Structure 1
Amino acid sequence: MELKTKAMAALLASTLLAGCTIPGSHISLDGKNVIQPESNSNDDNQSNDDISNRVNVYPLTPNTVNQFKPEQVTSRSNPALDTEVSKYQYYIGPGDILNITIWDHPELTIPAGSYRSSSESGNWVHSDGSIFYPYIGTVHVSGKTVTEIRDEISKRLAKYIESPQVDVNVAAFRAQKAYVTGEINKPGQQAITNVPLTILDAINRAGGLAQDADWRNITLTRNGQEESISLYALMQRGDLTQNRLLKSGDIIHVPRNDGQKVFVMGEVQEPKLLKIDRSGMSLTEALSSVGGINELEADATGVFVIRSIKQDPQLVQTTSSTDTANSETEKKELPPIANIYQLNIKDATALVIGTEFQMQPYDIVYVTAAPIARWNRVVRQLLPTITGFNNLSEGLNYYMELK
């Protein structure tokens, strides 16, 4: 019996040592400098460090799903833009070329011919904002409309010509530009002319959006200030309030849709990353894109959407205030970091509710495993060890019988 015990111990020790040489890599925290989070001295506030206390859970039911719907985008007119367009005037700037005609006085007008375009024969506005014209000399034109320039030239020419008939137009618009960048078929600059230029016009002139464009989050930068514009609302839903009249120096940037990600994990047929397209994505669409839930392993009552809550850095920092009367420190409760929306699809008709729940970028769809599936996994982990010990015991018994 003593010999049997010693043999068992020797074989068990060799088995454990063999386990230390199992192939593959891992990370051990032994010997590493592990940075521990700061703990609160007040035991009541220790729970603030637990993520479970900073998560809200909302069941998705026919009565509650509507309150989680994003605001619906509808077709709307834009009276403010219409007013801007109706009052729009182009103001001359350096680089523009003016075409000035004095009727009945061809000696003052250089006509455009077959060898020269009107822009080549016109009056170029110099960097100081002025032009030179015969008889009257230097005329400051920058910041003026063609009507104002025509009146000034007419007034000054009246000293030399009786009742001059003056016509002024812009032969080339070069002073004012807007820029379209990002996921555009033809990115670049767009000239601002005497015809009002809006965001929609500029994008159409640039060849439209590229395939990977993010329709919902383009930015309009004006004088260093950014404004978010939704082309989905403008072009797909007819919300004209998203349109803007462009001014010189404006930058329209269309980002890639790399940020329009949804993660589907857990007990589904094919866990993977999905991209929200221009028409959006519902929870049911996300599940169908990965082949649905794993009917043998999934818990149909546990389909969850985990959505992070953007934090205000000033709110995340806990502030303390000292009460001179009691000398007690009061801690502000930490804000929630995520909302969880739970859908029970044990009755498959509940997938209709999922069609009403719209996904947002960086949402996580997680389908939990059924309790029996989790138990089976534990058993599968234990079976090789149990089988190994049984085989070891039988081998020892056989060895002892031979002895």
Structure 2
Amino acid sequence: MTFSSQSVMMANRAPYTPQSLPEAFYQTATNEGRMRQAAALPEAPVVPDETFREPVMRPPPPVEPEPYRIGVGDRVLLATESAGTTVEELSGLLAAQTQRQGFTVRDDGTISIPDIGQARLAGLTLEEAENELFDVLIANELSPAVALEIAEFNAHKVVVGGAVGSPTVVPITLQPLTLGLAVAAAGGLDVPEPRFATIRIFRNGTLYQIPVDTFEDDADLQNLILRSGDAIFVDLTYDLDKALSYFQQQIDIISLERESRRQAFSELQAEIGFRQAALNERRSNFRTRLELGAEPRDYVYLSGEVASQSRVPLPFDQRASLADVLFESGGFDVTTGNPAHIYVLRPSPDPAEFGAVTAWHLDATNPAAFTLAGRFEMRPDDVVFIEAQPITRWNRTLRQFFPVLINTAQSAVTE
């Protein structure tokens, strides 16, 4: 049948699924991994009661409110603005919003979004982080209409201990954490006589202190903004020894936690390296088998007046057109090949019709008709045949006929 829009549509209806590359070519070696948990906070050390001394008022310098900056260990959640849809649906993941799943900021300050890549969020405000994600999604040709929220605040903390209802670690969230809020989060003050108690604040190697009775009567002191890493201890002993012992324990715990995280991150990097090496080995083995012909492939066969009588492998994970096959194989020489007679021969896939062939005829001298070659999808075992020019057939006949005439003449002369 002649090439036409209808005949091309009929030819393309033949079922065909292109061969896929092995799974190793789609896998990545990245993994969020899980960091070790820090040890539990120690109990406040016990020291004997001592003689009362009037607490000295030495409050920390005021801190200006600043936007929250995302840090290592924070758990972030990405969601689109439309209800019920998450950004993970764009990358083929499970719905993170409904399951409250998201991404943990790793030790290198990044999150890894499958099928998209890495985005560095540590040290950024929410607005700056959304701009960073906007650039990453745009670079991957995905919709940038996403919103970012922090599901778990783990990066910035304040430790509260001593004479409080429940010693605890208070995370710093989007709202500035004040001294009053931190004490309330620890169950409030547990002091029998406020006049004899002191709130001590350890910050960056400097110890500050506020008498409890002054703290309870001064709203400005209650609204003092705390910084990440501050340690608060409510002391009843009127002495610094107990507070300093507590602070030393907290410093030791922080050091152990950091060392544990560094070791876990090192193990994670090693694991990713092993996985990457295994993936590269599987990919290399596949390429080698492909070069040696040990992997099954789908082929299209070229014959007639083509640049090279050959078979052309169909590509992985996509479909090839007649134009792809002709041009990738070097095309054909129009001085010998007849562009008016290009044929595609397709055997019937039905075993009951063994030997049946469907043929399509393309007249490439018509530019409009040749555009259909780019839309005609090839199938395994198709044969592309290009007929020779009439003059080519005549020249070949003469080349075969002249040696016969010469040999006959020589024989006559000899006789």
Q: Identify whether the pair has TM-score above 0.5, normalized to the shorter chain.
A: no
Q: TM-score, normalised by structure 2?
A: 0.38
Pick the structure with greater CA Rg.
2
Q: TM-score, normalised by structure 1?
A: 0.39
